[in-house]
Amino acid sequence: MADEKKYTTVSIPKPLYDKIKKRIEGTGFTSVSDYVTYVLREVLASLEEEEKEEVFTEEEEEKVKERLRALGYLD
Amino acid sequence: MVSKPHGGKLVRRLVAERTRERILSEQKEYPSVKIDHGRAIDLENIAHGVYSPLKGFLTSDDFQSVLDHMRLSDDTPWTIPIVLDVMEKTFDEGDAVLLYYEDIPIARMHVEEIYTYDKREFAQKVFKTTDPNHPGVAKVYSMGEYLVGGEIELLNEVPNPFAKYTLRPVETRILFKERGWKTIVAFQTRNVPHLGHEYVQKAALTFVDGLFINPVLGKKKKGDYRDEVIIKAYEVLFEHYYPKNAATLATVRYEMRYAGPREAIHHAIMRKNFGATHFIVGRDHAGVGDYYGPYEAWDMFDNFPDLGITPMFIREAFYCRKCGGMVNAKICPHPEEFHVRISGTKLRKMIMAGEQPPEYMMRPEVYEVIRSFEKPFVE
């Protein structure tokens, strides 16, 4: 059983590192890595949100609509 | 647009009819495993995408990652271990087994891994306590010695007395689309509605297109309202007090874990899969006893910038005699002496004593519904 989550190393410019280090002082973030992970997750999530929505087949959609009508959810 | 399913794609693990018939005709050839109602409901939720992106019960990598990091091993937020436990190994890794609930073959499972786990660690990390008086911890302590991970395929639905009210994510997504709702706020409940709930729901609805009331039906404690009472109470509330085209009611079956902050995230993920874009996080959400702080669940959301559903933190509502209406601590300037808190426990006691709660606590129509049941509470 894996006890630890696998991590990898990425490089960021030293001035940026220093800037982030200063920025997270007094916040809940305990390391630059934590902050960078947080920001990247946020950025990725917003990019994914822009991707197109899920589509259902016409047949599937019609079948579902029929059930929703029968149950009174749709007119 | 409605929320993208968690993990990107709505999971559906239902076998085609011909495959289902074949598997059922060969059922004696598979090792069989009996499961309880809670696990059967989990299976159904996996199969219908309520737990997307899970395709089955967690393997050890994912299990450990959920305990340690509140994320699946691929980094997707996931806070509650969805696991299948067995007392002994009666099959091997690589086997396909049939899972039975009360002699009904519910699903086929492809066993990827059988592994041991530490119950105290499970309890401490998920429930923040190892106290066996915590119902979630007690449940973990009663589990089998092994966990079985692997993907599942649903063969039969678990018998459901409330099938009419139980919508699946594929259905709610189409329903929301048909109604033209782009933003939807979901409300989780396991109680009959009082004015405090109504205030919170309507405050949230002010900012979005639609309100999705999603009561959790399932195992209940003695003294809780029975499922049919909750449904009927909401129906009558909808009839008299909710805008017709801006609110809908559908139930979900789910076994509460009472894991407080962690479970609040899980509840939000489930509603994201139903298509909700927003989720109301209440006071002491999914808590029990004094194990969690009243607003601890709110803070938990800070850890998940990539959750994909927006939490709405709406403070507990109470009636203020001076304001003459429902308010919350943020908007009411008056001292405590003017406040009447609406406690579910107090309401239950009043109802049990045959006393009608005042209208600022409970709508009279809701009270009438409760009264119309000979036995509104679980005995």
Residue B10 sits at the chain A interface (C-beta within 8 Å): yes
- Residues 61-80 (B) with a CB less than 8 A from some CB of A: 61, 64-65, 68-69, 73, 75
β-strand pairing of B146-154 with B247-249:
unpaired
Q: How far apart are CA B298 and CA B379, in angstroms?
A: 33
Out of B12, B71, B179, B191, pick the active-site residue.
B191
Of the candidates A3, A4, A45, the beta carbon closest to that of B305 is on A45
Q: Which two tokens stand for residue B256?
A: 């509460």
In a domain, A55, yes or no: yes
Could you tell me which of B303, B134, B126, B265 has the C-alpha nearest to residue B188?
B265
pLDDT tens track for B299-343: 999 999 999 999 999 888 999 999 999 999 999 999 999 999 998
Residue type, B120: R
User: Residue B288 pLDDT > 90, yes or no?
Assistant: no
Query: Are residues B73 and A5, on separate chains, in Cβ contact within 8 Å?
Result: yes
In a domain, A2, yes or no: no
pLDDT tens track for B144-189: 999 999 999 999 999 999 998 999 999 999 999 999 999 999 999 9
* Cross-strand bridge partners of residue B212: B186, B248
Bond into B135 cis (ω within 30): no
Residue A1 sits at the chain B interface (C-beta within 8 Å): yes
Instruction: Map residue B209 onto helix, strand or coil.
Output: coil
Q: How far apart are CA B379 and CA B360, in angstroms?
A: 28
pLDDT value of position B76: 96
Which residues of chain A does B238 touch, with a Cβ-Cβ cutoff of 8 Å? none
Out of B190, B253, B262, B348, pick the active-site residue.
B190
pLDDT value of position A5: 61
Residue B329 sits at the chain A interface (C-beta within 8 Å): no
Sign of CA dihedral A4, A8, A14, A16: negative
Residue A10 sits at the chain B interface (C-beta within 8 Å): no
In a domain, A53, yes or no: yes
In a domain, A63, yes or no: yes
Of the candidates B9, B175, B302, the beta carbon closest to that of A68 is on B175
Query: Are residues A53 and B9, on separate chains, in Cβ contact within 8 Å?
Result: no
Closest Cα in chain B, distance from residue A50 (Å): 10
Instruction: Please count the helices (runs of H) and the strands (runs of E) in chain B.
Output: 12, 16
Of the candidates A38, A48, A67, the beta carbon closest to that of B171 is on A67
Closest Cα in chain B, distance from residue A44 (Å): 8
Q: How many CB pairs under 8 A join A and B?
A: 64
Provide the residue range defining the domain that includes A54: 14-70
In a domain, A39, yes or no: yes
Please confirm, yes or no, whether B273 is among the known catalytic residues: no
Q: What secondary structure letter does DSSP report for B336?
A: G
Which residues of chain A does B305 touch, with a Cβ-Cβ cutoff of 8 Å? 38, 41-42, 45
* Cβ atoms within 10 Å, residue A22: 8
Is residue B265 within 8 Å of B228, Cβ to Cβ?
A: no
Query: Are residues A2 and B61, on separate chains, in Cβ contact within 8 Å?
Result: yes
Which residues of chain A does B5 touch, with a Cβ-Cβ cutoff of 8 Å? 54
Closest Cα in chain A, distance from residue B75 (Å): 9
Percent share of chain B, pLDDT over 70: 100
Q: How far apart are CA B316 and CA B327, in angstroms?
A: 8
In a domain, A4, yes or no: no
Q: In angstroms, how far is the first alpha carbon of chain A from the final one? A: 53
* Cβ atoms within 10 Å, residue B302: 10
Query: Are residues B307 and A45, on separate chains, in Cβ contact within 8 Å?
Result: yes
ipTM of the complex, rounded to two decimals: 0.85
pLDDT value of position A53: 60
Look at the block and give the residue holding tokens 């909710």.
Answer: B242
Query: Are residues A73 and B248, on separate chains, in Cβ contact within 8 Å?
Result: yes
Q: What is the tally of structural domains in chain A?
A: 1
Containing B350, the helix (H) or strand (E) segment is helix B344-352
Of the candidates A1, A51, A74, the beta carbon closest to that of B175 is on A74
Query: Are residues A1 and B10, on separate chains, in Cβ contact within 8 Å?
Result: no
* Cβ atoms within 10 Å, residue A58: 8
Query: Are residues A5 and B65, on separate chains, in Cβ contact within 8 Å?
Result: yes
pLDDT tens track for B22-69: 999 999 999 999 999 999 999 999 999 999 999 999 999 999 999 999
In a domain, A5, yes or no: no
Q: How far apart are CA B352 and CA B360, in angstroms?
A: 19
pLDDT tens track for B233-281: 999 999 999 998 999 999 999 999 999 999 999 999 999 999 999 999 9
pLDDT value of position B39: 96
**pLDDT, mean of residues B285-289:** 87
pLDDT value of position A4: 58
In a domain, A75, yes or no: no
Helix axes B169-179, B260-274, angle to 10 degrees: 60
Please confirm, yes or no, whether B214 is among the known catalytic residues: no
Calculate ∠ Cα B251-B255-B258, nearest 5°.
115
Average pLDDT taken over every residue of chain B: 95
Neighbouring residues of B240: CB distance < 8 A, sequence distance ≥ 6: B363, B365
Is residue B242 within 8 Å of B204, Cβ to Cβ?
A: no
Look at the block and give the residue holding tokens 């050890």.
Answer: B60
User: Residue B91 pLDDT > 60, yes or no?
Assistant: yes
Lowest mean pLDDT: which of A28-37, B75-84, B357-366?
Answer: A28-37
**pLDDT, mean of residues A12-27:** 92
